[in-house]
Structures are given as C-alpha cells and as structure tokens.
A and B are shown apart, each in its own frame.
Chain A
Amino acid sequence: MSTPLSGPGSATQAPGRGPVGSRAARDHAPITLTGLAGKVLLLGLTAGVAVWAAFPLIDGRKWAGLALLAATTAALFYLYLTRRHIPAKYLVPGTLFLIAFQVFPVLYTASTAFTNFGDGHRGSKDEAIVAIQSSSVTQVPGSAEYALSIATKGDPSTGPLVFLVTDPATGTVSAGDTDGLRRLDAADVTVAPGGKVTAADGYTVLNFGQASARSKEITDLVVPTAGGALRSSGLSRAYEGKAVRAYEVGCDCVRDTGTGQTWTANDEVGAFVAADGERLTQGWKVNVGLSNFTRVLTDETISGPFLGTLIWNFAFAIGSTGGTFLLGMLIALVLHSPRMRGTNLYRLLLVLPYAMPSFAMLLAWRDMFNADFGLINNLFGLDVDWFGQPWTARFAVILVQLWLGYPYMFLVATGALQAIPRELTEATSVDGASPWQSFRAVTLPLLLVALSPLLISSFAYNFNNFNAIYLTTEGAPFPADNPTNGATDLLITYTYRLAFGGQGAEFGFAAAISLFIFAIVAVVSTVSFRRTRKQEEVYS
C-alpha cells in the first residue's frame, strides 16, 4: 500500500491520499482572492445561521444549547481563520455530519426506548390536564345561546376585553368580563338583526380582524354566571358552559363534578386511573425504565416467533444480497469480455430496472403475482397462489429483490472489473490456467476485496428492507391462528406491526425493538468487516 499503484487495493483508498507530500507547501500557500472571498462568505453565513439559531434558544431560555451554539461557532471561526490545524479543517465538517445524522438519532432513539412515548402519551402531565379539562366543557343544559361581540373600553389591540352578549329571548344586552355580567341600557347599544351588537356607548366593538388577533385572550376569557360561565364559541356566539372535570392539586386527581368520580394520577403509567382501573384517554409521557425491553423478551407473542423470523430475515438478506451479486457479477463478466459487441446497448437495457422507482416496481410486481389476475400465472398458465403459501411467497419476494437489485451489483462489479489489470488474467492463462481457475484464483478475490464493503452495506440494508416486504406481501401468508407474524415478515415489518398496528403508535416500544435490531446488524457488520480486512491484507 505504500506506492499509489500497488494494485486494485488502492481503488478503495484513493481519496484523501493525494496531498500527503504537499503539506509543507500548503502552509505557505498564497492567499487567492477567490479563496478569501469564499471564506468570508461562508464564515459570514455561518455567523448568520448561528444568530438565526440563537434567537429561539434565548426565547426558550435554553442556556445550555446557547452556550453549545456559541462555543461551536467560535471554534469554527477559530479553526478556519487560523493557518494551523489543517487535518481538523477536513475532519470537522464530517464529524458534525456524523453527530447530526448518526450519533444524535441513535442517542435519541435510545432515550425514547426508556419511555412510554406514543399515542395518548405524547406530551407533559400539564398538557394532559389542560386537554382533560377543556374537553369536558359542556353547555349547561337548558341554558341560552347568546350572540356575541368582542369589545373593549381601551385600545382595540391592547385594552381589556369585554363580551357584549345579546340574549336571544329577551333581546337584552349585557357586558361581561371576569367580574361577571352587567346589563346595558338598550338606548346605549345598536343591535344588528342577528342579535349582534354593532356599537355600544363607551365601548369599541372589535371587528373580526382585530378580534382574531387577540384569539388567545378571547378563548381564555370566562365570564362567571350563576349556572356556570359564559364562554365564547368563535367570535360571534357565546354559550353558558361548565368544565365537568377539574384537576385537584390536593389529591393529584381529576374529579368529575357531575358524578363525583375521581381518577388519580399514576406516574408509572402516565395516566389518570380510576379505582376500577379505568383510564382517562389523555395521558402523558413518563419514564418506564426497562419495561419496553423486558416486554420484547418476555411477551410470548413477540418472543415466540422471533427466532423463526430472525432466521428468515437472515435468509432474505443473504439471498437478496448474494443473488443480486451473483447475477450482477455474471452479467458484468460477460459484458467485460472483449469479444462482446454492443456492450453499451446491453448495459443501458440492464440498468433499466435500477432507473425505475422501486416503490412503483414493488407494487407492479405485487400485482403480477396475483393468483387469479396476475401476469405471471396467466403468462405461464400456472395456478400458484404465490402469496398464499410460505415458500412460494418467500421465493417471490427474493425474486423481486433480485430483479430490483442486480443492476446495482452489475454496475459496481463492472467498475471493479475494469480496475483489475488484464495482465493478471493474461498471466494466469500463460501459466496454463483454465478460465474458471483464473476467475477463481485471481478475478473473484480481487473483486471481493473491492466489493466486500458494498456487500456488507447491501446486506445491512436488505436486513431492514421494509419496503420490499411491506409493499409486496405485507408479511403474508399469515398462519390462521397468529395474525401478527407472517411467513415473509422481516424483523422490521414484524415490529412495525407490533408497535404501530395496535391501539395507536408506541414509539417507545418501537425504539426498544429497533435497538435490538441495531445490535444484530452491528454485530454482523463488525464481524464481516473484520474478515474483509484480513482478506485485504492477503490480497494487497
């Protein structure tokens, strides 16, 4: 590896190795005008972005975040204004990307896995209490509906708000604020035909535009009355309503003023629970410790079919990757032969599946496998219920993967083949090796050195290839007695169904499962990368 042209191994090493010898020259590189302008512009933009990001942080009083932002920005300015630390100038952008796209999501997923975050448990306890109370506001039975105008005695945009309400039965107009209702003299007010007050002495009536600018104050304004309280319903109607359920700090519970029933806050499940176990629907997010993880391991319906699914998952990933690699390489070899004519046309045709959106192709294939109306059965005169039996369904999804994936392998294999010097294979033929021997001993190992990292990443991708299953079989066929785990389910589709198929999404649980899958893929990838490294050492 010491000289740049030591063989195909350098193909994977090329970027970043060029400027090694020029380090000394670089420190004294002349400052060009474009370089300077670019630097000023980019650092200016950096500062701009930092200032833009600072405002919401100050607003939200997130001082730690602000300090981090300031420190990062200062460090970046220092780094790109100094002439030293050349390696860091290259490393920092990538590191920032790594943190933003890899480290942060993984940490976020991991932290979510310890909570019950999901539908019904999204917000804080305070938000749940607000939701419970505001959704329990009902109109007092038999009470009147009022025509409403919003008015103020002061400035339309800042003055304290008053509700001018007209009783439809009597036509009397009253002014209401937090102190209660006061009757206004009929002579002082002008009432439109619908009952709405359009003008009143001493008051400025707000139009919709002015009123809607103060929306929050209007919804928050509650005018106490004998039976409950007057509340606004929009900007033109008011009703006498009452919050039936109210939170009481003393007992940390919600009480229904109508029935007297109470629901006590339970901070372990993040919900208000009644004595009989009934929960209020609005809950909040709490820490649940390891329970999401233990659920994966102890719940029979999850751990039971896990092993079978895992084995099929491996088979699917290996089958997809291996199949596409073999087919792609075979075609690449054929087209690589100097005796082939019209290779460009073939290449164009062969890459076509890669050019089409896989999303649409998966759906098209699904319809082609339809037992009664599908192209495949009709074309070949078959009567196979493709997605109805485990093995035909598995065969079908791997076949679809093969079709979708081989152009990629063909492309990369073609590239790698062209990097293998012809002298090597020529030398083997001079030594009397058959083409097969020459392929086995020279071409394939060199190809694998170049392609192994791609095969590993392709494996990792296919291991979690959600779309390939979800858009074709959706996991079918399912055993009659277990609708949660199908024969073609991958771990990812299986767990998606568990986490999102039931009563609302359970992000905490989904995060816990994805950590398990992450661990499996990480182990497999690490092991195979180690093996690849050994292989590289042998062949380079």
Chain B
Amino acid sequence: MRIRTAGVVALFALALAASGCGGDSDEPAAKESPKAAGGKLVIWADDKRTAALKPFAEKFGQENGVTVEVQAVSKDLQTNFVTASQQGSGPDVVVGAHDWIGNLVQNGAIDPVQLSAEQKSGFNETAIKAVTFNGQLYGVPYAQENLALIRNTELAPEAPKTIEDLVATGKQLKASKKATETLCLQVGQNGDAYHIYPLYTSAGGYLFGTGANGDYDPKDLGVGKPASVEAFKKIGALGEKGAGVLKRSISDTNSIATFTGKKCAYLISGPWAVADVKKASIRYDISAIPGFAGGKEAQPFVGVQAFYVAAKGKNKALAQEFVANYTTTPELAVALYNAEPRPPALTAALDQVKGSDPDLAKFQEAGRNGQVLPAIPAMAAIWDPFGKAEAAVIGGADPTSTITAAGKTISGQIK
C-alpha cells in the first residue's frame, strides 16, 4: 500500500515538475499547430455574448469552410486576454468594452482594423469615435450604452427639467409617504465615478481636456481644478449633510432594487436596468438626466462594446475578415441586441429594432450629448480616487480639500 501511495504522489509531483519545467515553453509548440490544422478562428467573449455569437460564428465557419470556436471567458476577460496573448495562447478575436483599448494597445495586444469609409458611415458617429485611439480605428463597435433617468410614471408623471425639479418632486413624494428616497443614484461606500459623472459635468467639471486631434489629453486633468471643486460643492449640497438626495447607502447592489421596490421615483441607470424594472411591472419612462438649473447639460458617459483583432492571434487574416467584413452586418448586431438589449451601434440595426423597443430610442436620445468614456490608459487612475472623493463629499467632507487631494493622487498616478 505504501509503495502505491508513494507512487501516486510521485506521479503527481512528476506531472507537476514536468509542467513546471515546460511551463514557459508551451508557446512555441502552440504556435506550430495551426499550420497543420489550418483555418481556425478563436473568439473570446463573455458568457452572454458567447451564446449570441455562436450561431453566427458557426454560420461564418460553414460559409467559408473554416472552424470557428467561441469561448466564454466569464471573469476578467481583459486581463486574461492580455496575459494569454503575451504568452501566445490568446484568441484571434476578442469582444469587449471600448475603454479597454488604451490598455490593450499599450500591451501590444490588438491591431488596428481597416474599415472603408462606406463601412464607417454605417455606424453611429459616437461609436466610431469611441473605438478610435491615437487616430487609429482599433475595433468594430456593435452596441453602445449610456446612463439615463428612469422614472416611475405613477409617482412622477412629468420628466424633470432640472435636478432642482427632481428634488422638489422627490421631497413631495417623501412628505406624502409615497416614497422613502428622492433619487436612486448609486454611490456606495467608495463612490461611483461613472454614475456621478453626468451631475459632475452639469455642475461644470471635466476629467480630461481634449487635444488638437480631438483625443483626450492626459496632461490636462480637470480633477482638482477650481471648476471641479465648484462642481463638488453642488454635489455635496445634495449629499447626506445637505438635501439628503445622494447617499452612500445607495449602492450598486440596492439602487435598482430600491427603485423596483417603489421606494424612489427616479433611478439613474443604463439599459441593463430595464429588464428588472419591467419584471417588477413598474410603469416607467426614460428621459435624459437633468442638469442643475442654470448649469451645463448633464453629459453621461457613452460606452461602446466592440470586436477587436488580436495582434498575436494565430489567424490574423481570418480574424480581420471576420471583424471588418462580417461583424459590420446588421444581422449580427440585431442578434447581439436580442441577447442583451443594448442599443446597436450600427444605424441600420438600430432602425430595425427601434420599432419593437421604444426604450432604445429614448436611451439613445438621453446619450445624444454624452461624452465618450475616455479609453486612454490614464483613465484607469481616475476611477478609484474620484469615486472616493465623491463618497467623502457626499458624506459631508469639505469639497475643496477633498477634491484637491484627489486631483493630486490622480496626477501622481498618471505617467
């Protein structure tokens, strides 16, 4: 018995030692294989999109006599993709958000996509702008999304024109015990830069200035500048020590649930919230997020989901064919919309689904004046400090010192 146990352990140890020795040399072996097999396209996407992509990928494969594999990467797709492509074991095509582009490009993980002027003109202009980085088009967009104001029309029949209108109506509802909260805007213990951004812009703040070519300029940081301090004074006035409209206790886990529980009349969220709202059979309407009275327009971030060609993929020509010439067709965009209702970036596809889903047009209208979510790598340095500063100000901290400190932290992290 003892010999056998020792043997089993030895085997495991051996297998381990073998894989340990061979670990970093897997890559040349993997590179050799496609020559023999030939004509295989590997696509990485998250769970939901994998399901929607599969039939189309198979169709593409059958039409062209190639094998297409769609693999679901449910967690940390971006990091996994970067690591895998560095090791040479990555896919040929990856599907993801446009704000990954900066990081993917600095790691040499994706290649530009060449679309003809005609192909480009089929897309929403903002979507094309979002996937353009350093003057190059790096992905083919298929859906875009932005925040909007979703309101319970039974509680609040009229769309508010300003934040002040919204607060006044919310207060009335609270006073008459019809609601317990004024606005469901997720803040959380450590803030949420994405969701507060429309109010921040309306109050006059900005994140990055734009350079001569229209790209965001990481050297022109708006956080910490006087305008941002003024903006946070207005946000702070809505906070826990002020009007009590913005609260840290409303977070990503409970904001939608609080709205569907009819505890608040207004929810600031994106297309992903609509399914829950419908399920709770709430009568709702969608409008643009209102700005402060006398302030600027409230500009939500516009995010885009796109297809990318991996720079170190084994079958780049086929990947380019798929991304540039196949994902630009409306059929695929509609199928992806059916898998998850985010407005298609392809105008023709949007027109096709608009009729059956009035919310789409409303979301798009709400994002009309939106700003493309910066894809520059410096944006990664914004999220955390900006969110925490937001949470602190909403909790009652002094806006001037808080935002100045946040600005310092962010600029210290930008290389």
Which positions in A face B, CB cutoff 8 Å? 19, 34-35, 38-39, 42-43, 45-46, 49-50, 52-53, 55-57, 59-60, 62, 65, 68-69, 72-73, 76, 80, 89-90, 92-94, 96-97, 99-100, 104, 119-120, 122-123, 127-128, 130-131, 134-139, 145, 207-216, 218-219, 231-237, 239, 241, 279, 281-283, 301, 363, 367, 370-374, 385, 387-388, 473-478, 480-484, 497, 501-505
Contacts and interface: CB of A to CB of B under 8 A. Distances in A.
Interface in B206-235: none
Q: Which 3 A-B pairs have the closest CB atoms?
A: A213-B38, A131-B108, A234-B321
B38 A209 contact: yes
A385 B37 CA distance: 61
B7 to A, nearest CB: 4
A120 B413 CA distance: 14
Given A89-B3, A481-B405, 19 more contacts: A39-B3, A49-B14, A56-B25, A65-B25, A119-B377, A127-B108, A210-B38, A215-B34, A215-B314, A235-B321, A371-B249, A373-B249, A388-B395, A478-B388, A481-B401, A483-B389, A484-B409, A503-B377, A503-B414
Given A100-B16, A232-B317, A372-B249, A56 B29 contact: yes
B190 A476 contact: yes
B190 A502 contact: no
B380 A476 contact: no
Interface centre among B189, B315, B401, by most chain A C-beta atoms within 10 angstroms, is B189
29 contacts: A34-B4, A46-B10, A49-B11, A49-B15, A76-B10, A80-B6, A99-B20, A119-B103, A131-B311, A135-B111, A135-B112, A207-B64, A208-B321, A212-B64, A212-B321, A215-B34, A219-B316, A219-B317, A234-B317, A234-B323, A235-B320, A236-B325, A363-B253, A367-B253, A372-B249, A372-B250, A476-B190, A502-B381, A503-B415
A260 to B, nearest CB: 17
A357 to B, nearest CB: 16
A145 B20 CA distance: 49
A46 B388 contact: no
B39 A213 contact: yes
A374 B249 CA distance: 9
B298 interface: no
A128 B18 CA distance: 31
B14 A55 contact: no
B254 A373 contact: yes
A212 B315 contact: yes
Contacts of B11: 42, 45-46, 49
B413 A60 contact: no
Contacts of B324: 233-234, 237
Nearest to B117: A145
Contacts of A497: 384
B26 interface: yes
Nearest to A281: B106
Contact of B385 (A45, A234, A477, A483): A483
Contacts of B388: 478, 483
Given A50-B18, A234-B325, A97 B112 contact: no
B247 interface: yes
Contact of B377 (A104, A120, A372): A120
A480 B314 CA distance: 49
Contacts of A484: 385, 409
A59 B88 CA distance: 15
Given A56-B26, A279-B415, A370-B249, A93 B409 contact: no
Given A131-B311, A483-B388, A501-B384, A93 B377 contact: no
Interface string B237-263: 000000000011111011000100000
Interface string B23-48: 00111110010110111110000000
A90 B392 CA distance: 58
B65 interface: yes
B406 interface: yes
A49 B18 contact: yes
A506 to B, nearest CB: 10
A281 B109 CA distance: 12
A283 B38 CA distance: 32
Contacts of B258: 373
Contacts of A97: 12-13, 16
A426 B400 CA distance: 69
A53 B18 CA distance: 6
Given A282-B108, A504-B380, A480 B397 contact: yes
A371 B395 CA distance: 12
Contact of B86 (A19, A122, A145, A474): A122
A55 B247 CA distance: 60
B114 A212 contact: no
A80 B8 CA distance: 12
B66 interface: yes
Chain B interface size, under 10 / 10 to 19 / 20 to 34 / 35 or more: 35 or more
B318 A215 contact: yes
B321 A504 contact: no
Contacts of B136: 135-136, 138
Interface string B309-340: 00100111111111111000000000000000
A258 to B, nearest CB: 10
B135 A138 contact: yes
Given A62-B25, A478-B388, A99 B7 contact: no
Nearest to A72: B17
Contact of A208 (B26, B27, B65): B65
B402 A128 contact: no
B74 interface: no
B106 A120 contact: yes
Contacts of B80: none
Nearest to B414: A503
B134 to A, nearest CB: 8
A247 B186 CA distance: 48
B322 A234 contact: yes
A39 B380 CA distance: 55
B254 A370 contact: yes
B112 to A, nearest CB: 6
Given A212-B66, A483-B406, A497-B384, A50 B14 contact: yes
Contacts of A139: 114
B13 A96 contact: yes
Contacts of B352: none
B17 A99 contact: yes
B365 interface: no
Nearest to B314: A215
B165 interface: no
A52 B14 CA distance: 12
Given A96-B16, A100-B20, A120-B107, A232 B320 contact: yes
B384 A477 contact: no
A92 B22 contact: no
Contact of A38 (B4, B323, B402): B4
A381 to B, nearest CB: 16
B384 A119 contact: no
